[in-house]
Chains A and B, each alone.
Chain A
Amino acid sequence: MKKTIQIPLGSQHISLLEPIRFKFECENEKIIGVDADVGFVHRGVELACTRSFEFKQVGYVVARVCGLCAITHSLSYTLAAEKLLGYEANDRIKYLRMLMVELDRIHSHMLCLAHTAENAGFEALFMQIMADRELVMDLQEAISGNRVQFDFIAIGGVNRDLTPELTALIHKNLTLLSEKIDALIGLFNNNWSLSLKYKGVGVLRLEDAYTYNALGPLARAAGLATDVRVETSDFPYEDIGYTMILESTGDIHARNFVRLREIVNSIAMCRNIADNLPAGEILEKTKGKPKGEAVVRVEAPRGELFYLVRGNGGNMLERVRIKTPTFSGIPAMMEVFKSSEYADAPAILASFDPCMSCTAK
Protein backbone atom coordinates (compact mmCIF):
# COMPACT_ATOMS: atom_id res chain seq x y z
CA MET A 1 0.00 0.00 0.00
CA LYS A 2 1.14 3.51 -0.80
CA LYS A 3 2.36 5.29 2.28
CA THR A 4 2.38 8.87 0.99
CA ILE A 5 -0.31 11.19 -0.33
CA GLN A 6 0.01 13.95 -2.89
CA ILE A 7 -1.39 17.36 -2.01
CA PRO A 8 -1.14 20.20 -4.53
CA LEU A 9 -0.74 23.84 -3.55
CA GLY A 10 -1.85 25.93 -6.50
CA SER A 11 -2.05 26.84 -9.28
CA GLN A 12 -5.05 28.62 -7.79
CA HIS A 13 -4.97 28.71 -4.03
CA ILE A 14 -6.38 30.98 -1.38
CA SER A 15 -2.93 31.85 -0.02
CA LEU A 16 -1.36 32.59 -3.40
CA LEU A 17 -1.45 35.90 -5.15
CA GLU A 18 -0.08 34.63 -8.40
CA PRO A 19 -0.25 31.26 -10.11
CA ILE A 20 2.45 28.81 -9.11
CA ARG A 21 1.96 25.11 -8.44
CA PHE A 22 3.69 23.02 -5.84
CA LYS A 23 3.00 19.30 -5.67
CA PHE A 24 3.73 18.09 -2.17
CA GLU A 25 4.43 14.45 -1.42
CA CYS A 26 3.20 14.15 2.16
CA GLU A 27 3.67 11.53 4.82
CA ASN A 28 0.89 12.29 7.28
CA GLU A 29 1.41 16.01 7.88
CA LYS A 30 5.05 16.06 6.92
CA ILE A 31 6.22 17.10 3.45
CA ILE A 32 8.87 14.75 2.09
CA GLY A 33 8.96 15.64 -1.61
CA VAL A 34 8.25 18.77 -3.62
CA ASP A 35 7.68 19.44 -7.30
CA ALA A 36 7.32 23.01 -8.56
CA ASP A 37 5.76 24.37 -11.72
CA VAL A 38 5.98 28.02 -12.72
CA GLY A 39 5.00 29.47 -16.05
CA PHE A 40 1.26 29.98 -15.83
CA VAL A 41 1.53 33.65 -16.77
CA HIS A 42 3.79 33.61 -19.81
CA ARG A 43 3.43 36.86 -21.75
CA GLY A 44 6.29 36.72 -24.23
CA VAL A 45 7.99 39.89 -23.03
CA GLU A 46 11.46 38.79 -24.16
CA LEU A 47 10.31 38.22 -27.73
CA ALA A 48 8.32 41.44 -27.80
CA CYS A 49 11.48 43.33 -26.81
CA THR A 50 13.25 42.09 -29.92
CA ARG A 51 10.36 42.13 -32.42
CA SER A 52 7.97 44.97 -31.68
CA PHE A 53 9.97 47.66 -29.91
CA GLU A 54 13.05 49.67 -30.69
CA PHE A 55 15.90 49.62 -28.21
CA LYS A 56 15.02 53.03 -26.80
CA GLN A 57 11.49 51.88 -26.04
CA VAL A 58 12.42 48.52 -24.49
CA GLY A 59 13.14 50.15 -21.11
CA TYR A 60 9.45 51.00 -20.85
CA VAL A 61 8.44 47.47 -21.90
CA VAL A 62 10.57 45.60 -19.35
CA ALA A 63 9.26 47.89 -16.61
CA ARG A 64 5.93 46.13 -17.17
CA VAL A 65 7.43 42.72 -16.36
CA CYS A 66 6.84 43.24 -12.66
CA GLY A 67 4.71 45.72 -10.77
CA LEU A 68 6.82 45.63 -7.64
CA CYS A 69 10.33 45.95 -9.01
CA ALA A 70 9.49 48.03 -12.09
CA ILE A 71 12.38 50.36 -11.36
CA THR A 72 14.88 47.53 -10.95
CA HIS A 73 13.91 45.99 -14.29
CA SER A 74 14.12 49.22 -16.26
CA LEU A 75 17.36 50.09 -14.47
CA SER A 76 18.98 46.77 -15.37
CA TYR A 77 18.00 47.07 -19.00
CA THR A 78 19.14 50.69 -19.14
CA LEU A 79 22.53 49.82 -17.64
CA ALA A 80 23.00 47.05 -20.20
CA ALA A 81 22.01 49.33 -23.09
CA GLU A 82 24.28 52.10 -21.81
CA LYS A 83 27.19 49.63 -21.65
CA LEU A 84 26.58 48.80 -25.31
CA LEU A 85 26.44 52.49 -26.22
CA GLY A 86 29.61 53.17 -24.25
CA TYR A 87 27.97 55.73 -22.00
CA GLU A 88 28.76 56.32 -18.34
CA ALA A 89 26.19 58.14 -16.22
CA ASN A 90 27.24 61.04 -14.02
CA ASP A 91 26.99 60.99 -10.23
CA ARG A 92 23.65 62.80 -9.97
CA ILE A 93 21.97 60.28 -12.26
CA LYS A 94 23.50 57.40 -10.31
CA TYR A 95 22.30 58.81 -7.00
CA LEU A 96 18.76 59.45 -8.27
CA ARG A 97 18.60 55.92 -9.64
CA MET A 98 19.84 54.49 -6.36
CA LEU A 99 17.22 56.50 -4.48
CA MET A 100 14.38 55.00 -6.50
CA VAL A 101 15.77 51.46 -6.27
CA GLU A 102 16.07 51.72 -2.50
CA LEU A 103 12.52 53.08 -2.19
CA ASP A 104 11.44 50.15 -4.35
CA ARG A 105 13.19 47.77 -1.96
CA ILE A 106 11.46 49.30 1.06
CA HIS A 107 7.95 48.91 -0.32
CA SER A 108 8.60 45.47 -1.77
CA HIS A 109 9.96 44.18 1.56
CA MET A 110 6.95 45.67 3.35
CA LEU A 111 4.61 43.89 0.98
CA CYS A 112 6.41 40.61 1.66
CA LEU A 113 6.22 41.10 5.43
CA ALA A 114 2.51 41.84 5.10
CA HIS A 115 1.82 38.71 3.08
CA THR A 116 3.87 36.53 5.39
CA ALA A 117 1.76 37.84 8.25
CA GLU A 118 -1.46 37.26 6.31
CA ASN A 119 -0.56 33.72 5.31
CA ALA A 120 0.41 32.90 8.88
CA GLY A 121 -3.05 34.06 9.96
CA PHE A 122 -2.49 37.64 11.14
CA GLU A 123 -4.89 39.59 8.95
CA ALA A 124 -4.81 42.77 11.05
CA LEU A 125 -1.02 42.97 10.84
CA PHE A 126 -1.29 42.64 7.07
CA MET A 127 -3.59 45.65 6.88
CA GLN A 128 -1.41 47.67 9.22
CA ILE A 129 1.77 47.06 7.22
CA MET A 130 0.01 47.73 3.92
CA ALA A 131 -1.30 51.03 5.28
CA ASP A 132 2.21 52.05 6.36
CA ARG A 133 3.54 51.07 2.96
CA GLU A 134 1.47 53.86 1.41
CA LEU A 135 4.00 56.35 2.80
CA VAL A 136 6.63 54.99 0.41
CA MET A 137 4.19 54.59 -2.47
CA ASP A 138 3.18 58.26 -2.10
CA LEU A 139 6.83 59.23 -2.11
CA GLN A 140 7.54 57.33 -5.31
CA GLU A 141 4.40 58.78 -6.88
CA ALA A 142 5.50 62.30 -6.01
CA ILE A 143 9.02 61.72 -7.36
CA SER A 144 8.15 59.95 -10.60
CA GLY A 145 4.66 61.34 -11.26
CA ASN A 146 2.82 58.02 -11.43
CA ARG A 147 1.83 55.40 -8.93
CA VAL A 148 3.05 51.97 -10.02
CA GLN A 149 4.41 52.41 -13.54
CA PHE A 150 7.09 54.91 -12.70
CA ASP A 151 8.84 55.23 -16.10
CA PHE A 152 11.52 57.14 -14.24
CA ILE A 153 14.67 55.75 -15.80
CA ALA A 154 15.55 56.40 -19.44
CA ILE A 155 18.65 55.66 -21.48
CA GLY A 156 21.03 58.49 -20.70
CA GLY A 157 19.66 59.49 -17.31
CA VAL A 158 16.41 59.91 -15.43
CA ASN A 159 13.25 61.67 -16.53
CA ARG A 160 12.59 63.85 -13.51
CA ASP A 161 14.64 65.81 -11.03
CA LEU A 162 14.38 66.13 -7.27
CA THR A 163 13.01 69.51 -6.12
CA PRO A 164 13.50 70.96 -2.60
CA GLU A 165 9.84 70.23 -1.81
CA LEU A 166 10.38 66.60 -2.73
CA THR A 167 13.47 66.40 -0.50
CA ALA A 168 11.39 67.75 2.38
CA LEU A 169 8.65 65.21 1.61
CA ILE A 170 11.20 62.37 1.56
CA HIS A 171 12.46 63.35 5.02
CA LYS A 172 8.94 63.76 6.39
CA ASN A 173 7.64 60.43 5.11
CA LEU A 174 10.76 58.47 5.97
CA THR A 175 10.72 59.81 9.54
CA LEU A 176 7.12 58.66 9.90
CA LEU A 177 8.01 55.32 8.34
CA SER A 178 11.05 54.64 10.49
CA GLU A 179 8.92 55.06 13.64
CA LYS A 180 6.50 52.45 12.28
CA ILE A 181 9.33 50.12 11.32
CA ASP A 182 10.79 50.39 14.83
CA ALA A 183 7.41 49.42 16.25
CA LEU A 184 7.23 46.50 13.81
CA ILE A 185 10.70 45.30 14.82
CA GLY A 186 9.55 45.27 18.44
CA LEU A 187 6.39 43.41 17.49
CA PHE A 188 8.15 40.77 15.41
CA ASN A 189 10.76 40.29 18.12
CA ASN A 190 8.56 40.11 21.20
CA ASN A 191 5.09 38.96 20.20
CA TRP A 192 4.52 35.44 21.44
CA SER A 193 1.90 34.35 18.90
CA LEU A 194 4.00 35.62 15.97
CA SER A 195 6.95 33.60 17.26
CA LEU A 196 4.81 30.43 17.21
CA LYS A 197 4.34 30.77 13.47
CA TYR A 198 7.75 32.14 12.55
CA LYS A 199 10.49 30.85 14.83
CA GLY A 200 12.04 27.56 13.78
CA VAL A 201 9.67 27.14 10.81
CA GLY A 202 10.95 26.68 7.27
CA VAL A 203 14.62 26.47 8.11
CA LEU A 204 17.22 26.77 5.37
CA ARG A 205 20.64 25.71 6.57
CA LEU A 206 23.80 27.48 5.47
CA GLU A 207 25.15 24.44 3.59
CA ASP A 208 21.86 24.06 1.71
CA ALA A 209 21.78 27.76 0.89
CA TYR A 210 25.25 27.36 -0.57
CA THR A 211 24.50 24.11 -2.44
CA TYR A 212 21.16 25.18 -3.91
CA ASN A 213 22.34 28.66 -4.79
CA ALA A 214 19.99 30.70 -2.65
CA LEU A 215 20.04 34.44 -3.19
CA GLY A 216 18.74 37.66 -1.79
CA PRO A 217 17.14 37.83 1.66
CA LEU A 218 16.64 34.04 1.60
CA ALA A 219 20.41 33.50 1.51
CA ARG A 220 21.26 36.34 3.88
CA ALA A 221 18.83 34.95 6.46
CA ALA A 222 20.77 31.68 6.39
CA GLY A 223 24.06 33.52 6.87
CA LEU A 224 25.31 33.37 3.30
CA ALA A 225 26.94 36.72 2.56
CA THR A 226 25.80 37.42 -0.98
CA ASP A 227 24.62 40.79 -2.25
CA VAL A 228 25.05 42.16 -5.75
CA ARG A 229 25.24 45.67 -4.33
CA VAL A 230 28.69 44.81 -2.93
CA GLU A 231 29.79 42.52 -5.73
CA THR A 232 29.37 44.99 -8.59
CA SER A 233 30.70 48.50 -8.97
CA ASP A 234 27.88 50.06 -11.02
CA PHE A 235 26.72 52.15 -8.06
CA PRO A 236 28.66 53.74 -5.19
CA TYR A 237 26.77 51.93 -2.44
CA GLU A 238 29.63 52.14 0.08
CA ASP A 239 29.53 55.94 -0.05
CA ILE A 240 25.93 56.17 1.11
CA GLY A 241 26.20 53.87 4.09
CA TYR A 242 25.37 50.39 2.91
CA THR A 243 25.77 47.56 5.41
CA MET A 244 25.28 43.87 4.72
CA ILE A 245 22.50 42.43 6.87
CA LEU A 246 23.08 38.84 7.98
CA GLU A 247 21.10 36.50 10.20
CA SER A 248 22.09 32.98 11.12
CA THR A 249 19.02 30.84 11.88
CA GLY A 250 17.51 30.73 8.38
CA ASP A 251 13.86 30.38 9.45
CA ILE A 252 10.91 32.64 8.59
CA HIS A 253 11.70 34.83 11.58
CA ALA A 254 15.23 35.39 10.29
CA ARG A 255 13.94 36.23 6.80
CA ASN A 256 11.49 38.74 8.27
CA PHE A 257 14.29 40.25 10.27
CA VAL A 258 16.64 40.52 7.30
CA ARG A 259 13.87 42.41 5.51
CA LEU A 260 13.08 44.68 8.46
CA ARG A 261 16.72 45.55 9.02
CA GLU A 262 17.27 46.11 5.30
CA ILE A 263 14.35 48.54 5.35
CA VAL A 264 16.06 50.44 8.17
CA ASN A 265 19.30 50.45 6.20
CA SER A 266 17.51 51.57 3.01
CA ILE A 267 15.78 54.41 4.86
CA ALA A 268 19.17 55.64 6.07
CA MET A 269 20.58 55.37 2.54
CA CYS A 270 17.63 57.29 1.04
CA ARG A 271 18.13 60.07 3.59
CA ASN A 272 21.82 60.23 2.74
CA ILE A 273 21.07 60.44 -0.98
CA ALA A 274 18.45 63.17 -0.52
CA ASP A 275 20.88 65.24 1.56
CA ASN A 276 24.04 64.75 -0.49
CA LEU A 277 22.79 64.85 -4.06
CA PRO A 278 25.69 65.84 -6.37
CA ALA A 279 25.14 68.51 -9.00
CA GLY A 280 24.87 67.68 -12.69
CA GLU A 281 22.62 67.05 -15.65
CA ILE A 282 19.80 64.55 -15.18
CA LEU A 283 19.34 63.54 -18.82
CA GLU A 284 22.20 63.39 -21.28
CA LYS A 285 22.11 62.67 -24.98
CA THR A 286 23.41 59.28 -26.06
CA LYS A 287 24.61 58.50 -29.54
CA GLY A 288 24.88 55.37 -31.62
CA LYS A 289 23.15 52.03 -31.78
CA PRO A 290 23.75 49.07 -29.47
CA LYS A 291 26.29 46.61 -30.82
CA GLY A 292 27.72 43.65 -28.98
CA GLU A 293 26.71 41.84 -25.84
CA ALA A 294 26.31 43.14 -22.30
CA VAL A 295 25.53 41.41 -19.02
CA VAL A 296 24.21 43.31 -16.04
CA ARG A 297 23.46 42.20 -12.50
CA VAL A 298 21.40 44.34 -10.15
CA GLU A 299 20.18 43.54 -6.66
CA ALA A 300 16.39 43.46 -6.87
CA PRO A 301 14.40 43.28 -3.60
CA ARG A 302 14.27 39.49 -3.96
CA GLY A 303 17.86 38.87 -5.00
CA GLU A 304 20.03 39.04 -8.06
CA LEU A 305 18.38 40.19 -11.28
CA PHE A 306 20.30 39.25 -14.41
CA TYR A 307 19.99 40.88 -17.83
CA LEU A 308 21.67 39.90 -21.05
CA VAL A 309 21.24 42.27 -24.00
CA ARG A 310 22.65 41.63 -27.45
CA GLY A 311 22.46 44.10 -30.31
CA ASN A 312 23.69 44.01 -33.89
CA GLY A 313 24.08 47.71 -34.55
CA GLY A 314 20.47 48.22 -35.63
CA ASN A 315 17.46 49.79 -34.01
CA MET A 316 16.07 46.42 -32.98
CA LEU A 317 17.84 44.24 -30.42
CA GLU A 318 18.84 40.69 -31.19
CA ARG A 319 18.23 39.14 -27.79
CA VAL A 320 17.02 40.22 -24.37
CA ARG A 321 17.32 37.61 -21.63
CA ILE A 322 15.85 38.23 -18.19
CA LYS A 323 16.68 35.90 -15.31
CA THR A 324 14.69 36.83 -12.24
CA PRO A 325 15.56 36.13 -8.59
CA THR A 326 12.53 33.93 -7.95
CA PHE A 327 13.43 31.63 -10.83
CA SER A 328 17.00 31.19 -9.60
CA GLY A 329 15.80 30.60 -6.05
CA ILE A 330 13.35 27.77 -6.77
CA PRO A 331 15.78 24.88 -5.95
CA ALA A 332 16.49 26.43 -2.54
CA MET A 333 12.78 27.02 -1.96
CA MET A 334 12.01 23.37 -2.68
CA GLU A 335 14.65 22.33 -0.20
CA VAL A 336 13.06 24.42 2.56
CA PHE A 337 9.67 22.77 2.13
CA LYS A 338 11.08 19.30 2.78
CA SER A 339 10.56 18.08 6.35
CA SER A 340 8.23 20.93 7.28
CA GLU A 341 4.52 20.60 8.04
CA TYR A 342 1.96 21.03 5.27
CA ALA A 343 0.02 23.56 7.36
CA ASP A 344 3.05 25.85 7.42
CA ALA A 345 3.52 25.75 3.64
CA PRO A 346 1.61 28.96 2.78
CA ALA A 347 3.52 31.00 5.35
CA ILE A 348 6.84 29.55 4.19
CA LEU A 349 5.97 30.26 0.58
CA ALA A 350 5.06 33.86 1.35
CA SER A 351 8.32 34.33 3.24
CA PHE A 352 10.26 33.62 0.00
CA ASP A 353 8.48 36.60 -1.55
CA PRO A 354 7.90 34.78 -4.86
CA CYS A 355 7.10 36.94 -7.86
CA MET A 356 5.50 34.82 -10.55
CA SER A 357 4.84 37.57 -13.07
CA CYS A 358 8.59 38.23 -13.05
CA THR A 359 9.48 34.57 -13.33
CA ALA A 360 7.21 33.59 -16.19
CA LYS A 361 7.18 37.00 -17.94
Chain B
Amino acid sequence: MFKSMFTALINLFKPVHTVNYPAEDIVLPKGYRGLIEYDKESCIFCDKCEKVCPPGAILFYQPLEGEKEYRYNPWLCIYCGECVRACPKPEEALWQSETKQHSAVKEDGANEGWFVYEEACKQSREDFKAAKQASKTQNKSEE
Protein backbone atom coordinates (compact mmCIF):
# COMPACT_ATOMS: atom_id res chain seq x y z
CA MET B 1 0.00 0.00 0.00
CA PHE B 2 2.82 2.39 0.83
CA LYS B 3 4.37 1.55 -2.49
CA SER B 4 1.23 2.50 -4.40
CA MET B 5 0.87 5.74 -2.44
CA PHE B 6 4.49 6.56 -3.22
CA THR B 7 3.89 5.89 -6.95
CA ALA B 8 0.81 8.10 -6.90
CA LEU B 9 2.82 10.89 -5.32
CA ILE B 10 5.55 10.62 -7.95
CA ASN B 11 2.98 10.60 -10.74
CA LEU B 12 1.66 13.96 -9.55
CA PHE B 13 4.89 15.61 -10.67
CA LYS B 14 5.32 13.73 -13.96
CA PRO B 15 4.69 15.49 -17.29
CA VAL B 16 1.30 15.03 -18.98
CA HIS B 17 1.11 11.90 -21.11
CA THR B 18 -1.55 13.09 -23.57
CA VAL B 19 -1.15 15.22 -26.70
CA ASN B 20 -2.17 18.86 -26.42
CA TYR B 21 -4.01 18.55 -29.70
CA PRO B 22 -6.05 21.62 -30.67
CA ALA B 23 -3.40 23.95 -29.23
CA GLU B 24 -0.50 22.16 -30.90
CA ASP B 25 -0.57 20.57 -34.31
CA ILE B 26 0.00 16.84 -34.58
CA VAL B 27 3.25 16.05 -36.38
CA LEU B 28 2.46 13.83 -39.34
CA PRO B 29 5.01 11.17 -40.27
CA LYS B 30 7.12 11.64 -43.37
CA GLY B 31 5.40 10.21 -46.41
CA TYR B 32 1.89 10.73 -45.06
CA ARG B 33 -0.72 9.99 -47.70
CA GLY B 34 -2.45 13.30 -48.31
CA LEU B 35 -4.43 15.06 -51.02
CA ILE B 36 -4.23 14.12 -54.68
CA GLU B 37 -2.99 17.07 -56.73
CA TYR B 38 -3.45 17.69 -60.42
CA ASP B 39 -1.79 19.70 -63.15
CA LYS B 40 -3.96 20.52 -66.14
CA GLU B 41 -1.05 21.38 -68.44
CA SER B 42 0.48 17.87 -68.32
CA CYS B 43 -2.76 15.88 -68.30
CA ILE B 44 -3.50 13.90 -71.46
CA PHE B 45 -7.14 13.20 -70.48
CA CYS B 46 -6.92 9.42 -70.70
CA ASP B 47 -9.47 9.04 -67.83
CA LYS B 48 -7.49 6.17 -66.28
CA CYS B 49 -7.60 7.76 -62.84
CA GLU B 50 -11.36 8.13 -63.06
CA LYS B 51 -11.86 4.48 -63.99
CA VAL B 52 -9.55 3.07 -61.34
CA CYS B 53 -10.65 5.18 -58.33
CA PRO B 54 -12.42 2.90 -55.79
CA PRO B 55 -14.84 5.47 -54.32
CA GLY B 56 -15.18 7.49 -57.54
CA ALA B 57 -13.68 10.67 -56.15
CA ILE B 58 -12.23 11.84 -59.48
CA LEU B 59 -14.60 12.87 -62.27
CA PHE B 60 -14.16 14.51 -65.66
CA TYR B 61 -16.81 16.84 -67.01
CA GLN B 62 -17.11 16.68 -70.79
CA PRO B 63 -18.25 19.98 -72.34
CA LEU B 64 -19.49 20.00 -75.94
CA GLU B 65 -16.52 22.10 -77.06
CA GLY B 66 -12.99 22.05 -75.71
CA GLU B 67 -11.10 20.13 -73.04
CA LYS B 68 -12.49 18.02 -70.22
CA GLU B 69 -12.67 19.53 -66.76
CA TYR B 70 -11.09 17.70 -63.80
CA ARG B 71 -12.98 17.60 -60.54
CA TYR B 72 -11.87 15.95 -57.29
CA ASN B 73 -13.75 15.37 -54.05
CA PRO B 74 -11.19 15.32 -51.19
CA TRP B 75 -13.79 14.17 -48.67
CA LEU B 76 -14.77 11.12 -50.71
CA CYS B 77 -11.16 10.21 -51.49
CA ILE B 78 -9.65 7.37 -49.46
CA TYR B 79 -6.07 8.46 -50.33
CA CYS B 80 -5.10 4.99 -51.53
CA GLY B 81 -3.04 6.39 -54.42
CA GLU B 82 -4.44 4.01 -57.06
CA CYS B 83 -4.97 6.95 -59.44
CA VAL B 84 -1.34 8.04 -59.18
CA ARG B 85 -0.17 4.49 -59.90
CA ALA B 86 -2.54 4.26 -62.88
CA CYS B 87 -1.51 7.64 -64.31
CA PRO B 88 0.70 7.45 -67.42
CA LYS B 89 2.48 10.63 -66.32
CA PRO B 90 2.79 10.30 -62.52
CA GLU B 91 4.40 13.19 -60.61
CA GLU B 92 3.66 15.48 -63.57
CA ALA B 93 -0.07 15.32 -64.11
CA LEU B 94 -1.19 13.66 -60.89
CA TRP B 95 0.65 13.20 -57.62
CA GLN B 96 -0.01 12.62 -53.93
CA SER B 97 0.96 15.44 -51.59
CA GLU B 98 1.44 15.31 -47.82
CA THR B 99 -1.10 18.00 -47.00
CA LYS B 100 -4.13 17.05 -44.98
CA GLN B 101 -7.64 18.05 -45.96
CA HIS B 102 -9.64 20.12 -43.45
CA SER B 103 -12.93 18.67 -42.24
CA ALA B 104 -15.89 19.39 -44.48
CA VAL B 105 -18.45 21.99 -43.42
CA LYS B 106 -21.87 22.54 -44.93
CA GLU B 107 -20.63 25.21 -47.35
CA ASP B 108 -18.20 22.74 -48.94
CA GLY B 109 -21.10 20.65 -50.22
CA ALA B 110 -19.13 17.44 -49.73
CA ASN B 111 -22.24 15.34 -50.30
CA GLU B 112 -25.04 17.33 -51.93
CA GLY B 113 -22.84 19.36 -54.23
CA TRP B 114 -20.99 16.26 -55.31
CA PHE B 115 -24.15 14.29 -56.12
CA VAL B 116 -25.27 17.14 -58.37
CA TYR B 117 -21.89 17.17 -60.05
CA GLU B 118 -21.91 13.39 -60.56
CA GLU B 119 -25.23 13.67 -62.36
CA ALA B 120 -23.96 16.59 -64.45
CA CYS B 121 -20.88 14.61 -65.51
CA LYS B 122 -22.98 11.63 -66.52
CA GLN B 123 -25.33 13.89 -68.48
CA SER B 124 -22.44 15.72 -70.16
CA ARG B 125 -21.01 12.42 -71.44
CA GLU B 126 -24.34 11.47 -72.95
CA ASP B 127 -24.84 14.91 -74.48
CA PHE B 128 -21.36 14.78 -75.97
CA LYS B 129 -22.01 11.34 -77.43
CA ALA B 130 -25.32 12.44 -78.91
CA ALA B 131 -23.80 15.61 -80.40
CA LYS B 132 -20.99 13.58 -81.97
CA GLN B 133 -23.46 11.13 -83.45
CA ALA B 134 -25.57 13.98 -84.81
CA SER B 135 -22.58 15.69 -86.48
CA LYS B 136 -21.54 12.36 -88.02
CA THR B 137 -24.94 11.78 -89.61
CA GLN B 138 -24.98 15.42 -90.78
CA ASN B 139 -21.60 15.00 -92.46
CA LYS B 140 -22.79 11.86 -94.18
CA SER B 141 -25.95 13.51 -95.50
CA GLU B 142 -23.91 16.45 -96.83
CA GLU B 143 -21.72 14.06 -98.80
Which residues in A have some Cβ–Cβ distance to B below 8 Å? 53, 56-57, 60-61, 131, 138, 141-142, 144-146, 149, 151, 154, 159-160, 165, 283
Contacts and interface: CB of A to CB of B under 8 A. Distances in A.
Contact of A138 (B29, B30, B33): B29
Given A145-B29, A159-B80, 20 more contacts: A53-B54, A56-B52, A57-B52, A57-B54, A60-B54, A60-B80, A60-B82, A141-B29, A142-B29, A142-B30, A142-B31, A145-B33, A146-B32, A146-B33, A146-B79, A149-B78, A151-B33, A154-B82, A159-B81, A165-B30
Contacts of B31: 142, 145, 160
Contacts of B80: 60, 151, 159
6 contacts: A57-B54, A57-B82, A60-B80, A131-B17, A154-B82, A165-B30
B44 to A, nearest CB: 20
Interface residues of B, number: 14
Contacts of B33: 144-146, 151
Contact of A145 (B17, B32, B52, B54): B32
A56 B54 CA distance: 8
B52 A151 contact: no
A138 B79 CA distance: 18
Nearest to A127: B17
Contacts of B17: 131
B57 to A, nearest CB: 12
Interface in B64-94: 78-82, 85
Contacts of A141: 29, 32
Nearest to B34: A145
Contacts of A144: 33
B29 A61 contact: no
A61 B54 contact: yes
A145 B31 CA distance: 6
B32 A60 contact: no
Contacts of B78: 60, 149, 151
Interface string B18-32: 000000000001111
A145 B78 CA distance: 12
A144 B85 CA distance: 15
Contacts of B81: 151, 159
A146 B78 CA distance: 10
A60 B55 CA distance: 9
A299 B23 CA distance: 42
